Homo-oligomer: A and B are copies of this chain.
Amino acid sequence: MLNWDTMFASRSSLMRASEIRELLKLLDQPDIISFAGGIPDPALFPAEEFQRAYADIFSGAAVNSALQYSVSEGYKPLREWLIGQMGALGIPCGLDNVFIVSGSQQGLDYLGKLFLSPNDTALVTWPTYLGALQAFNAYEPAYDQLTPSGNRTPESYRVAAAAAGGKVKFAYLSADFSNPTGETVDLAGRKRVLALAEELDIAVIEDAAYQSLRYDGEPILPILALEIAEKGHINDTRTIYCGSFSKTLAPGLRVGFIVANAPVIRKLVLMKQAADLHSSTINQMAILDVAVRGFDTQVVKIKAVYSHRRDCMLAALEKYMPKGTSWTKPEGGMFIWITLPEGMDGAKLLAKSLETAKVAFVPGKAFFADGSGANTFRVSFSCANEQMIEDGISRLGRLITDEIGG
Contacts and interface: CB of A to CB of B under 8 A. Distances in A.
Contact of A252 (B68, B102, B246, B274): B68
Contact of A1 (B45, B67, B235): B235
A271 B117 CA distance: 18
Nearest to A47: B63
Interface string A102-130: 11011001000111110010000000000
Number of copies: 2
A107 to B, nearest CB: 9
A12 B116 contact: no
Interface string A186-216: 0000000000000001110000000000000
A214 to B, nearest CB: 22
A113 B138 contact: yes
Interface in A251-298: 251-254, 261, 263-264, 267, 270-271, 273-283
Given A50-B67, A67-B253, A253-B281, 17 more contacts: A1-B235, A1-B263, A7-B170, A9-B117, A9-B169, A15-B271, A18-B273, A21-B273, A42-B65, A50-B58, A69-B252, A103-B276, A109-B275, A113-B138, A138-B275, A252-B280, A254-B277
15 contacts: A2-B261, A4-B261, A7-B170, A9-B116, A15-B270, A47-B58, A67-B250, A68-B250, A70-B252, A101-B276, A102-B276, A137-B274, A253-B283, A280-B280, A283-B283
